[in-house]
Structure 1
């Protein structure tokens, strides 16, 4: 019997993705472990492997298709002994290639482990109701699993509802607005656009230009940063930190680690300092939820890495307990695979706080946007020679500016200041973070 190959969920929060590229074609033989396709999620482009053996009978969803729902049939596999050309064709899946408006029901982001990647989001706007097609007697009701579960909990007869999803599919909003035993609600008249609805795209000026389609990664970055600035009250605290002692320690460590092929960067030591300071000031190693404040006993640092498709934050798990050589080796591996879109979901989803370093670009100081539902992010500027008071005398020192962005719902200004003080002390007396 032919096997339906379905769109996989490549991360805990994935609801749909882009079938970027097929690596096989109809008539190709595949076995377990063979690469079949490249799928673009909201975080990265990942490879999809075959789990069964057989011959590709049909490619249902062509490459380049956006908004393919998790679980949608994307290909048909004929198993050994079957004639691939005689395998039944898959029925068109109208919902597979049609993204729900504004992400639809599936766009409710789930918190990342410790972060959320995360991830808090505002509820997506419900699409305007559409009359559902008439169902014949005994015909299966089209409804999402979430809608069915809510209907069962509320004692609602789901077949009596009018679906507002694609092709009359009953979704969460339809069930939540219904009452047990109530008659099917008539389709509501179209409502005027809400105040928070996305603005119409600006007219493109008559200037020579190129237009590039937004990737899922870029769309996710835009959505999450907008949500962060709109829903998280940021408070910013900046300190100037003398780097001379840390630079000397780095030089000494690199000499001793040269035989092992390890070369520490300043950023490796900063990751360690942030992790240790979060353990010293646990009130800042937190995550805010509507009814709880989650405090973490381990510091997992999400480190911002720029990639061709956008920003991604691979995580150094337990950075507070790892040696700086281990942090350096792990960070180089994660950053390399991040740029090649080869990270596993668990390597970028999570984290208790974030670090963004733009010092290599000569940026003196900046304020980073919090990665919700994390409670803070540290922004690192360039180290530079500046006039500095040393032992009550004016001298010259290598100084960098660091700015902490804190979620003021979860972290008071005094607690944020305590973290910045601890971070500064560890950078200026770096042996303390190695003990």
Structure 2
């Protein structure tokens, strides 16, 4: 190789302006083949790995882990070992950053991977060709798991972190339901079993250190750490002893992550610039719960279970089709309407909140919605979403019912015009055929942008939504 090849910070999506280097997979002087992950880059929404398109030698790392730089910044240099260090340094000093101000496309996106390295002399290891998320690759490396033998459960059979966990625990990856059933029969403490089910650890065959060899939480946490699936939180120090009336000891300020900075920026701007108003309705849920139970009981083994949230997504999609004035984007210059409902669903992850988009919801069946929503939520928690998964939502659904929240007011996700906040179910008395009975009720609150959505439109949307949910056969297609 007679050329020196720059590696610049990639641009994934129109809104990306910077990224944080989170993990270098190679060190200076390492030679790697095509398809090897070079570095993980965290944006405000996702973590993606920059892969080598051709083999080469990493000569310089210019951006250390943890540093945030603009798109197009030179982060590394690939060059043949025969090229002397002086030539590499001259190349670095003369390098002009890529102009990332244009709208990227597949034909015009800036180069982000090694292009001028020679063809590899040996075939890559099988695991290097396996599609896997960055977290799955790190978990496999930490747990000594060969990715080539792991069956992927993600979109396009991509290997997820949970797949690696199950492979590390022994054999093929059972479904979450099968894992819970297997773990239920193992001698373990309830909190250890709950942690194992949440992290994807199989308890069978694990040696317990608790009383009468019971598996403890510590045992499961140690197994998760060994598999690279969990890290123990740093202990919170009490600080120096002070008088009872003295001030509390402050810890060191933790800088916002790229994702949290994006959340801060977007939601601050939303509350400061968008005239929010809120409308709430109570919706009876018993008929929907009965229908959901029947659908899931009648489903084939292995079919995706339909959740309440899947019904809510479908209902929102149909309500948006009936009231297109709510299915819009709003800017300072006007309103843009859409011909279908692409609904962003809020997913809580350890780094904050992320909203992958479910496409064309109104025209899809409940089982299809269930499978897609499960896949999107899993990949969101695995940090395995792509930029396309986050583009173009026309409306957002935020459901906190599973946390016991009764009602809340959500902040609009600009440029969308509305977001629906759903609370948890509760039992309330109602008059039924002249007698008092109890029904299951949820509260749904629509936050709307008053620049585009009037109060009457919001009320009509919620009325349609309530009718669809209370007569749920309308949602079955």
Relative to the length of structure 1, the TM-score reads: 0.72
C-alpha deviation, 1:84, in angstroms: 6.6
Cα distance in structure 2, aligned partners of 1:360 and 1:56: 48
What corresponds to 1:76 in structure 2? Answer: 77
Q: Is the 8 A contact 1:57 1:87 kept in 2?
A: no
Structure 2 residue corresponding to 1:311, chosen from 323, 348, 353 = 353
What corresponds to 1:225 in structure 2? Answer: 267
Cα distance in structure 1, aligned partners of 2:33 and 2:55: 4
Structure 2 residue corresponding to 1:360, chosen from 402, 413, 418 = 402
For 1:367, what is the secondary structure of its paired residue?
Answer: coil
Cα distance in structure 2, aligned partners of 1:412 and 1:334: 32
C-alpha deviation, 1:238, in angstroms: 0.3
Cα distance in structure 2, aligned partners of 1:414 and 1:95: 55
What corresponds to 2:4 in structure 1? Answer: 2
Please, which moves more after superposition, 37-46 or 321-330?
37-46
Cα distance in structure 2, aligned partners of 1:313 and 1:299: 15
* Residue 88 in structure 1 maps to residue 82 in structure 2: no
Cα distance in structure 2, aligned partners of 1:251 and 1:311: 29
Relative to the length of structure 2, the TM-score reads: 0.66
Please, which moves more after superposition, 393-402 or 361-370?
393-402
Structure 2 residue corresponding to 1:411, chosen from 434, 453, 462 = 453
Paired residues in the alignment total: 330
- Aligned 1:41-190 pairs, distance under 5 A: 41-66=43-68, 68-79=69-80, 82-83=82-83, 85=85, 87-89=87-89, 90-91=91-92
Cα distance in structure 1, aligned partners of 2:85 and 2:10: 25
For 1:302, what is the secondary structure of its paired residue?
Answer: strand
Please, which moves more after superposition, 212-221 or 28-37?
28-37
What corresponds to 1:376 in structure 2? Answer: 418
What corresponds to 1:290 in structure 2? Answer: 332
Structure 2 residue corresponding to 1:338, chosen from 380, 385, 400 = 380
- Aligned 1:206-225 pairs, distance under 5 A: 206-209=248-251, 211-225=253-267
Cα distance in structure 2, aligned partners of 1:297 and 1:336: 28
Please, which moves more after superposition, 263-272 or 392-401?
392-401
Distance change (3 Å), C-alpha of 1:50 and 1:241: same
Distance change (3 Å), C-alpha of 1:93 and 1:307: farther
Cα distance in structure 2, aligned partners of 1:401 and 1:93: 61
C-alpha deviation, 1:350, in angstroms: 1.8
Q: Is the 8 A contact 1:69 1:95 kept in 2?
A: no
Cα distance in structure 2, aligned partners of 1:95 and 1:14: 20
For 2:443, what is the secondary structure of its paired residue?
Answer: strand
For 1:25, what is the secondary structure of its paired residue?
Answer: coil
* Residue 40 in structure 1 maps to residue 42 in structure 2: yes
For 1:426, what is the secondary structure of its paired residue?
Answer: helix
Describe the superposition over 1:226-270 as per-residue Cα deviations: whole angstroms up to 9, x where unpaired. Answer: 111111111111000000000000001001214243211111111
Cα distance in structure 2, aligned partners of 1:36 and 1:234: 44
Name the structure, 1 or 2, with higher relative contact order (CA <8 Å, separation 6+).
1
C-alpha deviation, 1:374, in angstroms: 0.3
Structure 2 residue corresponding to 1:326, chosen from 365, 368, 383 = 368
C-alpha deviation, 1:208, in angstroms: 4.7
Describe the superposition over 1:133-181 as per-residue Cα deviations: whole angstroms up to 9, x where unpaired. Answer: xxxxxxxxxxxxxxxxxxxxxxxxxxxxxxxxxxxxxxxxxxxxxxxxx
For 1:19, what is the secondary structure of its paired residue?
Answer: strand
C-alpha deviation, 1:287, in angstroms: 1.1
Please, which moves more after superposition, 5-14 or 294-303?
5-14
Q: Is the 8 A contact 1:238 1:403 kept in 2?
A: yes
C-alpha deviation, 1:281, in angstroms: 1.1
Cα distance in structure 2, aligned partners of 1:42 and 1:92: 29
Please, which moves more after superposition, 257-266 or 324-333?
257-266
Distance change (3 Å), C-alpha of 1:208 and 1:396: same
What corresponds to 1:157 in structure 2? Answer: none
Q: Is the 8 A contact 1:78 1:84 kept in 2?
A: no
For 1:405, what is the secondary structure of its paired residue?
Answer: strand
Describe the superposition over 1:23-45 as per-residue Cα deviations: whole angstroms up to 9, x where unpaired. Answer: 11111112332101111111122
Distance change (3 Å), C-alpha of 1:429 and 1:21: same
Q: Structure 1 unaligned runs (5+)?
A: 97-104, 111-204
RMSD in angstroms over aligned alpha carbons?
2.3
For 1:275, what is the secondary structure of its paired residue?
Answer: helix
Larger helix share, 1 or 2: 2
Cα distance in structure 2, aligned partners of 1:340 and 1:93: 39
Cα distance in structure 1, aligned partners of 2:328 and 2:318: 14
Structure 1 residue corresponding to 2:471, chosen from 423, 429, 435 = 429
Distance change (3 Å), C-alpha of 1:397 and 1:210: farther
* Residue 390 in structure 1 maps to residue 432 in structure 2: yes
